[in-house]
Amino acid sequence: MFTGIVTDIGTIADLRQDGDLRVRVQTGYDTSGIDMGASIASDGVCLTVVDLGPDWYDVQVSAETVSKTNLSQWVVGKRVNLERALRVGDELGGHIVSGHVDGVAEVVSVEDEGDSTRVQLRAPDALARFIAPKGSVALNGTSLTVNEVEGAVFGINFIPHTKDVTTWGDVKLGDAVNLEIDTLARYVARLAEQA
C-alpha cells in the first residue's frame, strides 16, 4: 500500500527485454535500506525490486502490466515519480493507493493559472463513473483532488510545490497518465449496483 505522496523522482537508466521487461531506475533513495522483493511505486505502478546497486534498483515488469499502464512509453532518461511502500505508523498524507493501475488517462488540456497549472484529463469511459468532484485519484502515483468532472473529462490543479517535487512540472498535452481510482469510490459504486 502507498499514500500517493511522492518521495523521490527517479530516472529510467536502462530498459531491456529479458523474458519480461527489465527496468533500471536511478534513485536518490538510500538503497542499503531497500530489501530485495520490496515494493516501490514507480509512476503509480507497484513494482518489485529484483536487484540493487548504490544508487539504482531493477524491477521486472510483466507484459500484462505494460499493456495496462503507460510503461510502454518509458524511455531511457524519463523521470518517474517514486514512493516506497507504506509502513505501519507512517503518516497517511494522501489517500490509500494500491499501486494497481486501473487504466490510462490522456492529458487533453494544460493551462497556467497564476503559479499553478490546471490540467484536464480524459479517463477511459469505464472508469469515468468512479471520478467525482473533490474526490481523490492517483495520477502517475500522485494523490490528487479532483476539481471538476464533465463526462469522462476531469480537472486537477497542480500547485507549485507539487510541480517541484514530482514530475508534474513536465506535463504536456497528449501525455498518457497512469490512473488509479479511489478504492472507496470503487466500493461505493459496487454497493450501489447491488442495491
175 vs 160: CA distance, rounded Å: 19
pLDDT for position 109: 98
Nearest alpha-carbon partner for 181 in 103, 118, 67, 71: 103
Same domain, 116 and 73: no
Residue 126 lies in a domain: yes
What is the CATH classification number for the domain harbouring 40? 2.40.30.20
The residue with cell 536502462 is: 14
**Contact by Cβ (8 Å): 104, 97:** no
Of 55, 84, 113, at which residue does a domain stop? 84
53 vs 33: CA distance, rounded Å: 11
Same domain, 134 and 179: yes
pLDDT tens per residue across span 102-128:
999 999 999 999 999 999 999 999 999
Same domain, 120 and 167: yes
- Give me 168's grid cell: 508534474
Bridge partners of 2, per DSSP, are 97
Of 57, 84, 111, at which residue does a domain stop? 84
pLDDT for position 78: 98
Same domain, 184 and 119: yes
pLDDT truncated to tens, each residue of the chain (195 aa)? 898 899 999 999 999 998 899 999 999 999 999 999 999 999 999 999 999 999 999 999 999 999 999 999 999 999 999 999 977 666 666 777 888 999 999 999 999 999 999 999 999 999 999 999 999 999 999 999 999 999 999 999 999 999 999 999 999 999 999 999 987 766 676 677 776
Helix (H, G, I), strand (E, B) or coil at 11: strand
Domain interval for residue 15:
8-84
Residue 90 lies in a domain: no
Residue 128 lies in a domain: yes
Same domain, 17 and 78: yes
Q: Helix-strand-coil percent breakdown of the chain, rounded to 5? A: 20, 45, 35
Question: How many domains would you assign to the chain?
Answer: 2
Same domain, 69 and 31: yes
